[in-house]
Amino acid sequence: MVEKFLISEFKARCIELLKQVHSSGRPIIVTLRGEPLVRVIPATKSGQPRVRLGRKHGNAVFKGDLVHFDFSEEWETDQ
């Protein structure tokens, strides 16, 4: 669950909350009059990808030919 903070509380505890996001890795949401204003998320280290390549390997199923395709049945033509 993402914690929510009023903008006035965020302003008063800004540095503390930013350190908390950095150390825990959990984002927070800052609200203004009860509406979400911004989401604060931890930054990734430079050069470090957010999602590792190959992480989703095996989650997709390809049906049919990906190179040669025919949309003629789905599109109307004036011919």
21 against 67, higher pLDDT: 21
- The Cβ of residue 13 has, within 10 Å, a number of other Cβ atoms equal to 13
Taking residues 2-9, what's their average pLDDT? 95
Rounded-to-integer distance, Cα 38 and Cα 50, Å: 20
How would you label 24-52 residue by residue, b for 16+ Cβ within 10 Å and e otherwise? Answer: eeeebebeeeeeeeeebeeeeeeeeeeee
Per residue in 28-65, pLDDT (tens digit) is 999 999 999 999 999 876 666 666 667 777 777 777 77
Q: Which fold has domain 3-40?
A: YefM-like fold (3.40.1620)
Rounded-to-integer distance, Cα 24 and Cα 45, Å: 15
Residue 49 DSSP class: -
User: pTM value?
Assistant: 0.56
